[in-house]
Structure 1
Amino acid sequence: MYTILGATGNTGRVVAEKLLAAGKPVRVVGRNRERLEPFVEKGAQPFVGSVTDADFLAKAFDGATAVYALIPPNMQVDNFLAYQNQVGEAITKAIEKAGITRVVNLSSMGAHLPEGTGPIRGLYFQEQRLNALSGVHVLHLRAGFFMENLLFQVDLIKNQGICGSPMRGDLPMYLIATRDIGEYAAGHLLELDFSGQEIHALSGPRDYTMVEATRILGAAIGKPDLPYVQFPYEDAEQAFIQMGIGPDIARSYIEMYRGFNEGIGIAPTPDARHVRTKTSLEEFADFFAAVYRAG
């Protein structure tokens, strides 16, 4: 039995699909039963509830061989770090209560740093909590920037004819497709081939600057001269808020971008195994183009 948190999200969905395809019993955890239904139709057992509820999670974890753990995003909370800690503590308590011995934990590059990384900071604390558990083998997957986050550029391209963000255009980024993360996690859940506390840093086959990424995405949608613009931090923060993101989270993301631009170290660390996955940005650009044309 495997329990998958965030089963309707980008990575959890792939983990659940792969485990079910392998004939494994799976519990899928989410906030909405209707969105879990596709997995239920394939034989998964649904658990609907809040990831801030340790007792609920302990029931979902009970008897599981391993757990795929993550802190789901919540873009409207007043204090994002407090939310991350609340979820992280509930997950950790549930692991202890249910006697789980193996966990694959979705983390992020930069999670070795206790401050200056915005939303990644909460993942630092979660790694520390999981590492402190006795008798639990944990594989931390420190993923790079999700390629799927580039989909937020679609409206900007259509409305203003540019790609843009607070990120410097000349700095290489560790980009990765979320499907690759899910497949990698599922592989290690099936094999259970990790012990102690392991760190694997995941990124795509090569790194890209935002200028390069813009050129690739632009070519895919028939705009080879699409420009990239680096936005001032203040303007970007206000734009995030106008998109419906909570003010605290908006400030947190600006801190992350600033840290990246200043070389704080959102990158693989010497204690991590750096793994290059298969999906290139050029391949992802085909999906980006389909979303662009459908919108």
Structure 2
Amino acid sequence: MYAIIGATGHIGNRVTDILLNKGEKVRVIGRDAARLQQYVNRGAVPAVGDLKDTAFLTTAFQGATAVFAMIPPSYTASTFRAYQDVVGISIATAILDVGVTHVVNLSSQGAELPRGTGPIVGLHDQEERLDVLRGVNVLHLRPTYFMENLLANVPVIHDYGYAGSAVRGDIKFAMIATADIAERVAAHLLARDFSGSSHEDLLGQRDLSLQEAFTIIGRRIGISDLVYRQIPYDEFEQALLGTGMSRDVCRLFVEMSEALNRGLFAVNRPRNAATTTPTSIEQFAEVFAEVYRGAQHRHAA
């Protein structure tokens, strides 16, 4: 039995799909029973509850050969780091109480740094929590910037004709498709090929700048001269507030953008065959184009 936190998210849903396709027993953990139902229909066991509820997680982890652990984002949390701490402690406590022996933990590039990286600091703290659990083998996966983050620009391109964020457009850094992260998660859960406490960098197919990424995406969606603009931090924070994020979450995202601009994570990371994953930005541009077309149809309607 494999217990999957965040089974309806970008990564967890693909991990669940891979495991179910291989005939494995899976317990899918989430707050929304309706969203879990697609996996229940295929034989998964649902565990519906709140990750802050340690008793619930203890039950959800019972009988698990291995756990995929993560702290799902809560974009409306008034104090995001406090939310991360509560969920992180709950996960760690349940793992120890049940006696889970293998955990693949979703962390991030930059998690080795104790401060200055916005929400990634919470993942640093979670790595430290899991590292001290006796009798638990923990692999921290540290993927780089998700290509799926670029999808936030779909409405921006539709409304303003350009892409933008607070990150510099000229700095090259590693980007990864979440499908590649899921493949690696599933492989490690099945093989349980790790012991003690360790981490693994996942750096995507190649480093590239946001200017390069959106030039490629622009050609795919039919905008050959698509421009990427770096947005001043204060303007970016206001734009995030307009999406419904809490002020604290917006502040942390700005801090993370500033850390990336300073090259504190994901920039000039040593790359090898093990840290390189297959999906290119050209391939991801197909995903972007599909989402873009869907949004275009909704605008037209």
TM range (shorter): over 0.9
8 Å contact kept, 1:110–1:267: no
2:11 pairs with 1:11: yes
Write the letter of the residue equivalent to 1:106. Answer: L
Give the CA deviation at 1:212.
0.2
Equivalent residues of 1:199, 1:273 under 8 A apart: no
- In structure 2, the CA distance between the partners of 1:260 and 1:73, relative to structure 1 (3 Å rule), is same
Q: 1:91–1:237: structure 2 CA closer, same or farther, 3 Å change rule?
A: same
User: What CA distance in whole angstroms lies between the structure 1 residues aligned with 2:170 and 2:201?
Assistant: 22
Q: What letter matches 2:78 in structure 1? A: D
Structure 1 length-normalised TM: 0.97
- For 2:138, the equivalent position in structure 1 comes to 138
Q: Which residue is 1:63 aligned to?
A: 63
Letter in 2 for 1:229: R
Amino acid at match of 1:180: D
Aligned position for 1:33: 33
- Give the aligned partner of residue 251 of structure 1: 251
The C-alpha deviation readout for 1:142-181, integer Å capped at 9, x for no partner, is 0111111111111111111101000011111211111111
Aligned to 2:219: 219
Contact 2:15–2:185 (CA under 8 A) maintained in structure 1? yes
Q: Distance in 1 between matches of 2:237 and 2:71?
A: 23
What amino acid is the match of 1:137? Answer: N
Pick closer, same or farther for the CA change 1:275–1:142 going to 2, 3 Å. Answer: same
**Offset, 1:229:** 0.5
* Aligned: 1:121 with 2:121: yes
Give the C-alpha shift of residue 275 in structure 1.
1.1
Aligned equivalents of 1:262, 1:144: Cα separation in 2: 15
Q: Which residue of 1 aligns with 2:287?
A: 287
Q: Which residue does the alignment assign to 1:171?
A: 171
| Contact in 2 for aligned 1:109/1:268 (Cα 8 Å) | no
* Root-mean-square deviation over aligned CA pairs: 1.4
Identity of aligned residues (%): 49
TM-superposed CA distance for 1:265, in Å, is: 3.0
SS at match of 1:155: helix
Partner of 1:108: 108
Cα shift at 1:244:
0.7
Q: What corresponds to 2:153 in structure 1?
A: 153
CA distance in 2: counterparts of 1:268 and 1:103, whole angstroms: 28
The aligned amino acid for 2:74 is N
Any conservation in 1 of the 2:163–2:229 contact (CA below 8 Å)?
Answer: yes
Q: TM-score, normalised by structure 2?
A: 0.95
What code does the residue aligned with 2:216 have?
A: I
Q: Does structure 2 conserve the Cα–Cα contact (< 8 Å) formed by 1:201 and 1:268?
A: no
> Residue 172 of structure 2 contacts residue 267 of structure 2 at CA under 8 Å; is this kept in 1?
no
CA offset digits 1:8-51 (Å, max 9, x no partner) = 00000011111111111110000000000010011000000001
Query: Which whole-Å deviations, capped at 9, do the CAs of 1:210-245 have from their partners, x for residues lacking one?
Result: 110110110110111111100000000000001111
CA distance in 1, matches of 2:113, 2:40: 39
Separation in 1, partners of 2:2, 2:256: 33
- For 2:290 and 2:66, locate their aligned partners in 1 and report how far apart those are by CA, in whole Å: 36
Q: Tell which deviates more after alignment, 32-41 or 171-180.
A: 171-180
Distance 1:291 1:94 in 2: 38
Long gaps (5+) in structure 1: none
Asked whether the 8 Å contact 2:173–2:268 carries over to 1, the reply is no
Deviations 1:166-212 (A, max 9, x none): 00111112111111111110011011111111111112111110110
1:69-84 aligned within 5 A: 69-84=69-84
Q: C-alpha separation between the residues in 2 aligned to 1:262 and 1:233?
A: 14
Q: Which runs of 5 or more residues in structure 2 are unaligned?
A: 296-301
- Kindly indicate whether the alpha-carbon contact (under 8 Å) linking 2:6 and 2:72 is maintained by their aligned counterparts in 1: yes
Cα distance in 2 between the residues matched to 1:203 and 1:48: 33
Q: Aligned pairs, how many?
A: 294
The Cα of 1:266 is off from its aligned counterpart by 4.0
Cα distance change on mapping 1:19 and 1:119 into 2, 3 Å:
same
